[in-house]
Amino acid sequence: KNEVEQSPQNLTAQEGEFITINCSYSVGISALHWLQQHPGGGIVSLFMLSSGKKKHGRLIATINIQEKHSSLHITASHPRDSAVYICAVIGNQFYFGTGTSLTVIP
């Protein structure tokens, strides 16, 4: 049983495309965390949100608590966005999705 499901698992896009990565969860949460893991392995926090929408540069994260769903959008994608994007939720425990592997082709 996976408390956090991400889709798609793999995504290939052309440079400049608008990208959406989805995260659905089945548990009650107090916050949701989007992380980025580059091929070298390092993990970076992108957003933590509990309602509404947050924007940082070309990245936008939204969450709908009622629908138990969050999306991560990347506008004007670039090859340096190629990474694994991980959704994590904080409920009575921490639950992580298995990640979405994004490849942006020049």
Q: What residues line the site for other proteins (CB under 8 A)?
A: 30-31, 33, 35, 41-45, 47-48, 50, 86, 88, 90, 93-94, 96-99
Gap between the Cα atoms of 106 and 13, Å rounded: 9
Torsion angles phi and psi, residue 53, rounded to 5 = -145, 145
Q: Give 74 or 89: the residue with its C-beta nearer to other proteins.
A: 89
Kindly state the smallest distance separating residue 12's Cβ from other proteins, in Å: 19
Q: What does DSSP assign to residue 58?
A: T
Tokens of 87: 């959704």
**Residue at 44: amino acid letter:** V
Kindly state the smallest distance separating residue 14's Cβ from other proteins, in Å: 27
Kindly state the smallest distance separating residue 73's Cβ from other proteins, in Å: 18
